[in-house]
């Protein structure tokens, strides 16, 4: 059973214009055409449209959706499981925000202000995101963070093991240079800093040298960064900051 573009629009709520656009860019091309040349959508086409809408609800750009769905290894079941996982996470975040709004309305109606313990309660569920997100938001690179979310959402356990080992090894090698009395401005340290920058680009998001330098500065201005990094070697966060800066500034 096939449906016309108007019927699909009526069923799904997607405008005819949008369906035409999806066809034009190759994202969703109807399986058949009528003798008069009108688009006819099969049940398989509707399943594909549903996938597109799920990804759009998760704020994936059309280019990324097309890349995923045109992959010869695209797995519908795997995509659905991924989408469910991401939507569950989003639902929790929205529920937290709704609860916070409700609490704020209650305080407003009672004429209360956020003082003492009430302040802690008001913010207790606002968990900070990954450190990288904070750096992106601070420096205006929000698209980079979205790219990181999109890419990491598809990583397997093996991927996470590999990337963590790779990043950890780079930090240990930089720590060894520091312990040996080498300066963060030496070529060896800058080369490792550049390897770390490329590590971020390979696994997370595009990281130009200016952004990488900002990340290093976050290592010393954010106590959470500093505490975690200095567990590897005391003073490593400062060494990384200086090595990242030197690498960003060299020709």
**How many CB atoms within 10 Å of residue 90?**
13
Percentage of the chain modeled with pLDDT above 90: 39
For residue 171, the model assigns a pLDDT of 94
Host H or E run for residue 176: helix 157-179
Mean pLDDT confidence for 57-86: 84
Domain ranges within the chain, ordered by starting residue: 3-70, 75-127, 151-249
Residue 189 in this model has a pLDDT that exceeds 50: yes
Mean pLDDT confidence for 203-232: 86
Q: Using a cut of 0.85, tell me whether the model's pTM lies above it.
A: no
CA distance 122 to 196: 38
At what angle are helices 16-24 and 5-12 packed, to 10 degrees?
120
For residue 118, the model assigns a pLDDT of 53
φ, ψ of residue 208 to 5 degrees: the values are -60, 165
Half-sphere exposure of 227 (CA within 13 A, CB side): 4
1.10.1660.10, 2.40.50.140, 3.90.1150.10, 3.40.50.720: CATH of 3-70: 1.10.1660.10
Is 151-249 a domain of CATH 1.10.490.50?
yes
Q: What is the dihedral of CA 142, 146, 152, 153, to 10 degrees?
A: 150
Mean pLDDT confidence for 93-119: 68
Mean pLDDT confidence for 198-226: 87
187, two tokens: 């070529």
């Amino acid at each position: 059973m096939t449906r016309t573009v108007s019927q699909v629009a009526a069923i799904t709520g997607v405008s005819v214009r949008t369906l035409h656009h999806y066809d034009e860019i190759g994202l969703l091309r109807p399986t058949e055409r009528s003798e008069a040349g009108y688009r006819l959508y099969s049940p398989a086409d509707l399943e594909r449209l549903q996938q597109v809408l799920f990804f759009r609800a998760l704020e994936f750009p059309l280019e990324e959706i097309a890349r995923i769905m045109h992959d010869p290894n695209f797995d519908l079941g795997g995509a659905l499981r991924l989408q469910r996982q991401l939507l569950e996470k989003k639902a929790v975040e929205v529920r937290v925000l709704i609860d916070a709004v409700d609490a704020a309305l209650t305080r407003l109606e009672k004429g209360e202000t956020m003082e003492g313990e009430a302040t802690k309660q008001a913010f207790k569920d606002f968990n900070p995101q990954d450190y990288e997100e904070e750096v992106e938001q601070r420096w205006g690179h929000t698209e980079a963070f979205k790219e990181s979310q999109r890419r990491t959402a598809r990583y397997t356990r093996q991927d996470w093991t590999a990337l963590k080992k790779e990043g950890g090894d780079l930090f240990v090698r930089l720590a060894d240079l520091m312990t040996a009395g080498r300066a963060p401005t030496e070529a060896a340290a800058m080369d490792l800093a550049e390897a770390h920058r490329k590590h971020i680009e390979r696994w997370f998001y595009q990281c130009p040298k200016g952004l990488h330098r900002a990340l290093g500065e976050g290592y010393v201005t954010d106590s959470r960064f500093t505490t975690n990094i200095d567990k590897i070697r005391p003073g490593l966060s400062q060494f990384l900051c200086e090595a990242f800066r030197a690498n960003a500034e060299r020709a």
